[in-house]
Structure 1
Amino acid sequence: MARLRDVVLDSVHPARLAHFWAGALDGYAVAPYDEAELARLRSTGVTSTEDDPTVLVEPSDGGPRLWCQRVEDREPAGGPGLHLDLVAADTAAEADRLVGLGASVLAHHDDHLVLADPEGHPFCLYPAG
């Protein structure tokens, strides 16, 4: 059985959206940037955390994390601006189970699968650990 790991929100300005959700959700805060992450961002040309293309909002209680990720052009309201990241011990068996429930596999990546629910909303399946 899968469990929810992450919620990912598409955004034109991830830092602003992350700060909104950190303030809106009880027990959540924008993840602090350590020197290694700041160096990684600088190596990609990002000089300010306000320009970070992917900002993490962490829960204090170990619940699902919220990621705000930059997209160039968000779809109109009702489109897939949100997708779930699931994690399972056996991703192959879980993918088969989800397909049996009506999901379809959209893409295979080295570290995860992208699937769609019966209405076409994408979500990802990652291995546990």
Structure 2
Amino acid sequence: MSLVTWQDLCLDALDVDAQARFWSAASGLSVADPAPPARLAGPTPGHTLWVNPVDRPHVVKNRTHLDIDCGSVEELVALGARVLAPAAETGLGWTVMADPEDNEFCAFVRTPEALPAYRLHGIGVDCVDPAAQARWWGDLFGVDPVHEVDGGDWWTLAGVAADDRMTLDFNTVPEPRTQPNRLHWDVVGRVDELLARGASYVGDQPDWTVLADPEGNEFCVFPPE
């Protein structure tokens, strides 16, 4: 039994309009409401990406990032992204890029017939202990994590996010967390149950509560209807 269900994604931005336009074009979502916070809409409410105004710029590598499909790296550069680590140089199956506000993301080039309309297919999460993080979130979502060792070493949760294709991927990194994340997900659940499972309290807003997971990653909890 799951303690939470997926609600949507949120991205912090200095320039909400510019970031909403970039991520709409890059993700295949439409700008349903441009007024801050901007709402990018997709085929279901769970595909929503909110672009929230903040006064805090990107200063360190994000510990959460998006994985997206694309027709080419060049088309993303034309939208305002820049290349950080080309696949041709790293030997990996993706190119590491940065959006116009320097938020890192991974771009996977697909053939035209394999390129979906909705292009967000994963969320990468940097961790000190990816196995523990994947198990913690898996316990909340009611899904067992899978240890992936083909071409790397990470832990994956599937079928818990916007659709069956989107995964949460937990990877090991050496650097500690020093700044709030600029990308987070929202869930529906009960705050008291999550605190009892090891979440920590960050703050309250009128319609939701901000918590953090065991490694300090913020997420927002909305009460069940």
1:1-129 equivalences under 5 Å are: 1-26=3-28, 28-32=29-33, 52-76=35-59, 77-78=61-62, 79=179, 80-88=181-189, 91=190, 95-129=191-225
Give secondary structure in 1 for the equivalent of 2:46: coil
The Cα shift of 1:75 comes to 4.1
Q: Higher helix share goes to which structure?
A: 1
Is the Cα contact below 8 Å between 1:14 and 1:68 reproduced in 2? Answer: yes
Cα distance in 1 for residues equivalent to 2:12 and 2:45: 22
Cα distance in 1 for residues equivalent to 2:217 and 2:9: 13
Give secondary structure in 2 for the equivalent of 1:68: strand
Cα distance in 2 for residues equivalent to 1:84 and 1:62: 13
Q: Structure 1 unaligned runs (5+)? A: 33-48
- Larger relative CO (CA 8 A, sep 6+): 1 or 2? 1
Give secondary structure in 1 for the equivalent of 2:194: helix
Give secondary structure in 1 for the equivalent of 2:20: helix
Normalised by the length of structure 1, the TM-score is 0.69
Cα distance in 2 for residues equivalent to 1:124 and 1:61: 19
- Aligned residues between the structures: 105
The Cα shift of 1:25 comes to 1.5
What's the CA shift string for 1:61-109, capped at 9, x where partnerless?
A: 4433101111112242324111221113xx2xxx233234431112234
Cα distance in 2 for residues equivalent to 1:63 and 1:114: 19
2:31 corresponds to which letter in structure 1? V
What's the CA shift string for 1:29-81, capped at 9, x where partnerless?
A: 1105xxxxxxxxxxxxxxxx5xx431000112443310111111224232411
Q: Structure 2 unaligned runs (5+)? A: 63-178
The Cα shift of 1:18 comes to 1.1
Normalised by the length of structure 2, the TM-score is 0.42
Q: Quickly say closer, same or farther: Cα 1:62–1:53, change in 2 above 3 A.
A: closer
Is the Cα contact below 8 Å between 1:4 and 1:64 reproduced in 2? Answer: no
The Cα shift of 1:4 comes to 1.5
Larger Rg: 2
CA-based RMSD: 2.0
